[in-house]
Amino acid sequence: MTETAVTAGAPFTAERRRARHRAAWRRRRLVLMLMSPWIVGFCVFFGYPLVMSVYLSFTHYDLLSSPKWIGWANYKYLFTQDPQVGPAVRNTLWLILIMVPLQVLFAFGVATMVARAKRGVGFFRTVFYLPALAPPVAATMAFVYLLNPATGPVNVILGHLGINGPLWFQSPQWSKPSLTLLSIWGIGNLMIIFLAAILDAPQQLYESAELDGAGPIQRMRWVTLPTISPVILFSVVISVIAAMQYFTQAYVAANIASGQASQAGDQTVNNLGYPEGSTLFYPVLLYQHGFRFFNMGYASALSVLLLIVAFTVTVLIIRNSRRWVHYAGAVK
């Protein structure tokens, strides 16, 4: 009897297993199908270029003839001989250490003020967000015009106040601060993220803190900052990555401020980094080698290094963040 039951049950169980297997495969297929646009995009626009960049970094490749394997020669030149790498790295570090903290602080400050506004909330949100909608090229052109040392309205007004305005984009000392002003002006996106996080902070925490006698600064320190700490981490990470990829504004500002923008088609004219190499950021150097000098093998080596550094810095920030980022509902 038992034997009969076993023999009768075996095909039944196998059938169910097969059905389950088929259902699972169908589910997987559906998931794959739904994800396929992303998978294809990832492979074509990220995976393949990444693999190719690593390969090309070991070659001499002028875009026009086949890549030629040269081993570590590009990296050797990059680390030991290229005189422009040092200044480009220093300029980029300046952005990370000065521009990024200022961007984050300013975005947070504006978001805090807008969150507290009693009237005209919609107006202020729009006003502070609006610059983020301006295309970077147009915004940079406007800033170079506004900050023209001789004819720009900013220096004209400063002149009326008896202040001899700086040379802004024309001065190696002021070119990066000028770009920083431009980036602070355009913090709309970061501001909106901070604003959403601040408005999302649980009110009962503020009420409890207030009952415990906490003042505005203490509430900020012990309630707001811990609550929005994941958003601060996110902002810092994306801002640092953006600083390492900073290109458009530097490219446009250098071309216009040097007074030779109309010659942009003539690639003999090299304004990149103007003035005195002070806006030669790492991505600008990369572009220069890849597309101005047909030295794509070396540009690939530069980009691989950038990827490694960006990845390492991001990992370091995230690891370090465990000490100061608090996730709601997280179990320690």
**232 alpha carbon, distance to own chain's centre:** 14
Candidates 13-21, 102-110, 209-217, 270-278; binding stretch for another protein (CB under 8 A):
270-278
Question: 9: Cβ–Cβ under 8 A, 6 or more apart, which residues?
Answer: none
Measuring CA to CA, how many Å separate 274 from each of 176, 259, 268, 330? 11, 10, 15, 49
Question: 210: Cβ–Cβ under 8 A, 6 or more apart, which residues?
Answer: 219
Residue from 257, 284, 286, 305 touching another protein (CB under 8 A): that is 257
Instruction: Burial-class residue 59 by CB neighbours within 10 Å (0-12, 13-18, 19+).
Output: buried
Q: Is 178 in the site for another protein (CB under 8 A)?
A: no
Rank residues 92 and 258 by Cβ distance to another protein and give the closer one: 258
Neighbours of 169 (CB within 10 A): 29
Q: In whole angstroms, how close is the CB of 264 to another protein at the nearest point?
A: 8
Rank residues 251 and 298 by Cβ distance to another protein and give the closer one: 298
Q: Is 60 in the site for another protein (CB under 8 A)?
A: yes
Neighbours of 294 (CB within 10 A): 14
Q: Is 145 in the site for another protein (CB under 8 A)?
A: no
Question: 121: Cβ–Cβ under 8 A, 6 or more apart, which residues?
Answer: 114
SS3 state at 35: helix
Residue from 49, 136, 172, 226 touching another protein (CB under 8 A): that is 172
Q: Is 185 in the site for another protein (CB under 8 A)?
A: no
Q: In whole angstroms, how close is the CB of 64 to another protein at the nearest point?
A: 4
| Subset of residues 61 to 100 that bind another protein, contact rule: CB under 8 A | 62-65, 68, 70-71, 73-74, 76-77, 81-84
Residues of this chain that interact with another protein (CB under 8 A) are 60, 62-65, 68, 70-71, 73-74, 76-77, 81-84, 148-151, 167, 170-172, 257-263, 265-271, 273-277, 288-289, 291-295, 298
